[in-house]
């Protein structure tokens, strides 16, 4: 599967042309994108379980894991807050919603369904309770990352505290991990088809008038994501001795895949393999990456901050600086979990408006038509943000192999190829 990202880029280009030339036929390609995303979500739970249990199960010093956990959560909160501040800054400077005068907007059809989905009662207690699945098995049924991560950590802790080195369960987990990644390899061969279906549907459904009408906001949002990646994440990466350009080159296949499908979850399985091969310890990858997909969704934070500002301007609703800071505090909670797939950030935005009641909830309908276009940048930013988090935290925790990283990067520059099958790291805490 050499140069798969080239095939995905070609598929995206063809899909855009198809969507513009034959929009009605392009919309019919939706099952291709949905089926591909569904296949990847199918293996997401087993990959998280095998990766986390294999890494945590070999830990002998839990003090190091506790330190990693605290640093990880602190990092997530700081970077997520910076993402929201960037979003608020851009939307307040450019003010793309001024003059739209959509105060009498009412939501109907599919937009109303999204708003309804986000208007359930939200509280921090409800968020914590939702992490705990009804049974150990049901965690893998719902498809939510947090319950799977919770169960995986429990199993890993249990193995670490009582298992002996020669227990057959470790061998079973390693073999299960090999099988799951082999299945992933089969699925990834379909990525150009999935990217084609998703992009063709987006352009065919939301092209033309809607995109032109809201083009200023789309450009504002994309500018905020570029600023966040190259400036904010660039500075964060530099503090750990990384170049953001090198990181982008390292994960370009996964970023392009997320861009083509508008879903960051599809890149998760490949990131697990690649980041371990690039020198990150499997314990850090197994803990930080799954947690990041629920707690460090930088693209979703940018989406929500820009969306709040745009809706306020478009509906002529005054929103003072103090009110924006108050909404930021609410969004630090409502942004967590379940925003890795297309449409997830829109639902979180609806939950924020319902919780705060500072803006008309019907304003979410303004973004529904262009959500898929915005989700391209959202999902790509999520992938980049979590990759930077794993590399930086690995370096800070002295669980990073610089020589392995340089060798991997130089080899890819010399001969771009797909990552080799994942192998267990020999480094243990």
Which pLDDT tens digit goes with each residue over 58-76?
665 566 667 888 898 899 9
Is the model more confident about 92 or about 6? Answer: 92
Residue 89 binned pLDDT confidence (cut-offs 50, 70, 90): very high
Asked if residues 374 and 119 have their Cβ atoms less than 8 Å apart, the reply is: no
* pLDDT tens-digit map of 368-383: 657 777 888 999 999 9
Question: Do the domain assignments include residue 429?
Answer: no
Question: Residue 271 pLDDT > 60, yes or no?
Answer: yes
Query: Among 116-125, 352-361, 420-429, where is mean pLDDT lowest?
Result: 420-429
Question: Do the domain assignments include residue 420?
Answer: no
Residue 152 binned pLDDT confidence (cut-offs 50, 70, 90): confident
Question: Do the domain assignments include residue 370?
Answer: yes
Question: Do the domain assignments include residue 281?
Answer: yes
Give the mean model confidence (pLDDT) for residues 274-282. Answer: 91
Q: Give one DSSP letter per residue of 50-101, joined into a string.
A: HHHHHHHTT---HHHHHHHHHHHHHHHHHHHHHHHHHHHHHHHHH-TTTT--
Question: Do the domain assignments include residue 425?
Answer: no
Q: Give the residues across from 400 on adjacent strands.
A: 280
Q: Which of 147-151, 170-174, 309-313 has the highest mean pLDDT?
A: 309-313
**Structure confidence at residue 361 (pLDDT):** 67
Question: Residue 326 pLDDT > 80, yes or no?
Answer: no
Is 0.75 surpassed by the pTM of this model? no
Neighbours of 222 (CB within 10 A): 17
**Structure confidence at residue 126 (pLDDT):** 60
Residue 426 binned pLDDT confidence (cut-offs 50, 70, 90): very low
Question: Do the domain assignments include residue 339?
Answer: yes
Give the mean model confidence (pLDDT) for residues 154-170. Answer: 78
Asked if residues 250 and 100 have their Cβ atoms less than 8 Å apart, the reply is: no
**Structure confidence at residue 306 (pLDDT):** 92
Query: Which whole-number Å values give the CA distances from 59 to 52, 161, 400, in the listed order?
Result: 11, 9, 16
Token pair for residue 397?
């925790």
CATH of the domain at 100: 1.10.3860.10
**Structure confidence at residue 10 (pLDDT):** 87
Token pair for residue 31?
């099952």
Q: Give one DSSP letter per residue of 358-400, joined into a string.
A: SS-GGGHHHHHTTHHHHHHHHHHHHHHHHHHHHHHHHHHTT-B
Mean pLDDT of the chain: 78
Q: Which of 76-80, 206-210, 296-300 has the highest mean pLDDT?
A: 76-80
Alpha-carbon gap, residue 151 to 87, rounded angstroms = 34
Give the mean model confidence (pLDDT) for residues 25-30. Answer: 87
Is the model more confident about 33 or about 397? Answer: 397
Question: Do the domain assignments include residue 422?
Answer: no
**Structure confidence at residue 418 (pLDDT):** 47
Q: Which domain holds residue 154?
A: 4-414
* pLDDT tens-digit map of 173-193: 888 878 887 887 788 788 888
Phi, psi (degrees; rounded to nearest 5) at 360: -65, 125
Query: Among 74-83, 121-130, 194-203, where is mean pLDDT lowest?
Result: 121-130
Is the model more confident about 93 or about 114? Answer: 93
Domain count, the chain: 1
Question: Residue 170 pLDDT > 90, yes or no?
Answer: no
Question: Residue 246 pLDDT > 60, yes or no?
Answer: yes
Question: Do the domain assignments include residue 421?
Answer: no
Q: Which of 69-78, 93-102, 350-359 has the highest mean pLDDT?
A: 69-78
Please tell me the total number of residues recorded for the chain in this structure.
Answer: 429
| CA atoms within 13 A of residue 164's CA, in its CB half-sphere | 3
């Amino acid at each position: 599967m050499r140069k798969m990202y080239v095939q995905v880029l070609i598929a995206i280009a063809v899909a855009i042309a198809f969507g513009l030339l034959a929009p009605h036929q392009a919309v019919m390609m939706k099952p291709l994108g949905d089926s591909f995303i569904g296949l990847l979500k199918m293996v997401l739970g087993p990959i998280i379980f095998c990766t986390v249990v294999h890494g945590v199960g070999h830990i002998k010093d839990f003090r190091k894991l506790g330190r990693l956990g605290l640093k990880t959560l602190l990092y997530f909160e700081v970077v997520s807050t910076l993402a929201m501040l960037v979003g608020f800054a851009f939307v307040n400077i450019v003010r793309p919603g001024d003059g739209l005068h959509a105060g009498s907007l009412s939501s109907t059809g599919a937009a109303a369904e999204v708003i309804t989905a986000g208007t359930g009662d939200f509280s921090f207690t409800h968020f914590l309770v939702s992490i705990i699945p009804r049974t150990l098995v049901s965690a893998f049924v719902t498809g939510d990352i947090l319950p799977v991560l919770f169960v995986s950590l429990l199993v890993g802790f249990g193995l670490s505290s009582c298992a002996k080195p020669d227990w057959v369960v470790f061998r079973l987990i390693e073999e299960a991990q090999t099988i799951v990644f082999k299945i992933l390899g089969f699925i990834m061969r379909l990525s150009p088809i999935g990217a084609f279906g998703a992009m063709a549907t987006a352009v065919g459904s939301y092209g033309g008038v809607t995109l032109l009408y809201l083009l200023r906001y789309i450009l504002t949002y994309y500018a905020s994501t570029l600023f966040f990646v190259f400036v904010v994440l660039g500075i964060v990466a530099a503090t750990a001795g990384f170049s953001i350009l090198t990181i982008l080159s390292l994960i370009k296949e996964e970023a392009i895949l997320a861009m083509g499908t508008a879903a960051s979850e599809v890149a998760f399985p490949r990131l697990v393999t690649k980041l371990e091969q690039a020198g990150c310890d499997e314990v850090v990858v197994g803990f930080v990456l799954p947690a990041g997909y629920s707690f460090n969704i930088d693209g979703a934070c940018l989406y929500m901050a820009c969306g709040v500002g745009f809706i306020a301007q478009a509906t002529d609703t005054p929103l003072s600086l103090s009110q924006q800071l108050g909404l930021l505090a609410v969004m630090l909670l409502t942004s967590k979990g379940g925003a890795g797939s297309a449409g997830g950030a829109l639902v979180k935005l609806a939950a924020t408006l319902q919780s705060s009641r500072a803006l008309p909830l019907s304003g979410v309908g303004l973004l529904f038509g262009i959500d898929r276009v915005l989700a391209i940048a959202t999902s790509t930013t999520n992938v980049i943000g979590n990759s930077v988090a794993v590399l930086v935290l690995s370096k800070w925790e002295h669980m990073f192999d610089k020589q392995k990283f340089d060798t991997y990067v130089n080899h890819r520059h010399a001969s771009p190829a797909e990552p080799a099958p994942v192998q267990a790291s020999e480094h243990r805490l």
